[in-house]
Amino acid sequence: MTPSFAEVESQARLLTAEERARLAEIVLETLQETPLAEVASAWDKEIESRVAAYDRGETQTHAAEDVFAEARRLAR
């Protein structure tokens, strides 16, 4: 027999804060079209690709000072 919402809620309130946080993550994943693990994996691959392109000298870079100065200029 499937537990009622009230029963599930009651049980969830007995969990530790860490367990409730993990439960919330799991429930939220069920509402998303693409599971978070797949998104994280895709980002890992993208990061690896960008780092490799940087290491090969294929990307244009900018000094942090220049980037921050431009950001301050645009924020005015």
Does 75 score more than 80 pLDDT?
yes
pLDDT band at 46 (very low <50, low <70, confident <90, very high): very high
Q: Is 80 exceeded by the pLDDT of residue 34?
A: no
pLDDT band at 36 (very low <50, low <70, confident <90, very high): confident
Considering the entire predicted model, what is its pTM? 0.48
- The amino acid occupying position 65 is E
Q: Taking the CB of residue 31, how many other CB atoms lie within 10 A of it?
A: 6
Residue closest to 9 by CA, chosen among 21, 22, 25, 20:
20
- Given a contact cutoff of 8 angstroms between Cβ atoms, the answer to whether 50 and 59 are in contact is yes
d(CA 22, CA 33): 19
